[in-house]
Amino acid sequence: MISMSIQLLNTLSKKKETLQPLNDNTVSMYCCGVTPYSNTHIGHTRTFFSYDLLHRTLVDNGYVVHWARNITDVDDKIINRANAEHISCEELVSRYVIEQNETLEKFHLQRPEFEPKVTENILQIINLIEILIQKNDAYTTNSGVYFRVRNFKDYGKLSKNKIDALKQGARIEVDETKEDALDFALWKLTKPGEIFWDSPWGAGRPGWHVECSAMIHSLFGDSIDIHMGGRDLIFPHHEAEIAQSEAATGKPLANLWLHAGMVTLYGEKMSKSTNHYVGIRDFLTKYPSEVLRLVFLSVAYAQPLDFTFELATENFKKLAKIYRFVSLLDIYERQTDAFSEGKVEFSEDVFLKLEGLIEHMRQHVRDDLNSTAALAVFFEFIKETNSKIAKMEKAQARLSKADVHRLKVQWPQFKKWISCSLGLLEQTPQDFFAGLSAYNLGGEISAKEIEAKIMQRNEARQNKDWKQSDVLRDELLGHGIQIQDTPSGTRWTVVI
């Protein structure tokens, strides 16, 4: 059942539009994947995180989602790299698809229902090209088959380019056999050392743009609800998709076009050629995987994001703050009965806002996936709740019956929601804090050793050996562990 409408920024209209699925409450979604010819870096992953957030939001709001993310397993870059390494394209692609899937798993990114490959859709691609030739929207040359861009009068409507203003450039294929410099390849006749398939126009392989259109039509029909990709794909890739698809079917390819903002590194474009990028493996040696998710959630998906290690560290601290708060409320949830003995009821409603917290955050995410605003609501809740709990513990008071009920019922629901909808809290606070020693935040110490030292310190306090108590406290602090004595017991957190 659909709970509320979702507003999404449509690149085509440059306006927020209400999602209105073509088929009741079922959403068809196609997302452009990467070309697997080299190692992935954090810039590549932002689009994957955006797809993930969109999918989670749709499911959270009651939609049935059928979505695909393609794998471009034949391409100029793949052919050149495979030839340089003296291996097959298939072997090269397999290596990096495995790496990609490992990355998805490490970051708890959901896999799509369909992951079509170009090499598995050659027949569908040939069929689409044949339709375009029959309609006179494509033509053959001695180098391949090309799409007549000027036949499609709306060419440029996505990127807001005027067709007569477009000029030859780095992203426009230059070929003297073409009728027009703007025309793009649908089928490239084979060259020595290249992978190829037989076709009515000769042995060759698909052009870049045609693959996505053919896959979409094969999986979903003429039109889909949402097409998503990185902002760098608006022109020429998505522009070409629209032209060839709509020329073939006479129908809109997608109702909504969404694009994730680009990621720079300290203000400059990430580039492997200049070694100016952050690899996934390098990132994971410095930070837990959830830190990158929080970095991306902290900036609206459609906006550009300038990654810095200072930004990552800031979000590392925020993540630790979230887990400290979760640990605290987990303790209260387990021990609320014990807190009520011999104490007066606290006058303030500590967990009153917990009842509407999910819906408050959900409203923001429905508004073009505004995770930034949703997180702001959560951090404000953390701040207010921590303040009330501190006052309550100082007064040695107990929770009200209403607060106890809210905590027992609403808190587990909220943790489940934030995990399912935002992809956070993928582990327990105990596991999170126990794993932080791997990131050089202090001296090596395990959670078991921390608990043992806290027990020793509690014994020292019971024996009024304040000097030994202070020694143990300072020893833990030297390891980056801060302890706090409360009426409900001694709690510890990692200082980041």
Evaluate whether 147 touches 184 at the Cβ level (below 8 Å): yes
* φ and ψ of 42, to 5 deg: -65, -25
Give the C-alpha separation, 367 to 360, whole Å: 12
Place of tokens 């799509």: 112
Helix, strand, coil % (nearest 5) of the chain? Answer: 50, 15, 35
User: Three-state SS for 71?
Assistant: strand
Mutual angle of helices 289-297 and 371-394, in 10-degree steps: 110
Evaluate whether 492 touches 470 at the Cβ level (below 8 Å): no
User: What is 7-260's CATH superfamily?
Assistant: HUPs (3.40.50.620)
- Residue in 263, 222, 256, 257 with CA at minimum distance from that of residue 237: 257
Return the number of other C-beta atoms located less than 10 Å from residue 386's C-beta: 15
Q: What is the pLDDT along the chain (496 residues), one digit of tens a residue?
A: 565 799 999 999 999 999 999 999 999 999 999 899 988 899 989 999 999 999 999 999 999 999 999 999 999 999 999 999 999 999 999 999 999 999 999 999 999 999 999 999 999 999 999 999 999 999 999 999 999 999 999 999 999 998 888 854 434 566 778 999 999 999 999 999 899 999 999 999 999 999 999 999 999 999 999 999 999 999 999 999 999 999 999 999 999 999 999 999 999 999 877 889 999 989 999 999 999 999 999 999 999 999 999 999 999 989 999 998 999 899 888 876 645 566 788 888 999 999 999 999 999 999 999 999 999 999 999 999 999 998 988 888 889 889 999 999 999 999 999 999 999 999 999 889 878 767 755 445 666 778 888 889 989 888 988 888 888 887 887 776 777 776 567 877 666 5
The model's pTM? 0.89
User: How distant is the alpha carbon of residue 264 from its chain centre?
Assistant: 16
User: How distant is the alpha carbon of residue 480 from its chain centre?
Assistant: 31
Q: To the nearest 10°, report the CA torsion of 354, 357, 359, 361.
A: -170
Evaluate whether 44 touches 99 at the Cβ level (below 8 Å): no
DSSP tag of 111:
P
Return the number of other C-beta atoms located less than 10 Å from residue 404's C-beta: 19
Output the pLDDT for position 482. Answer: 74
**What are the boundaries of each domain within the chain?**
7-260, 309-425
As given in the structure block, the two tokens for residue 350 are 């500590």
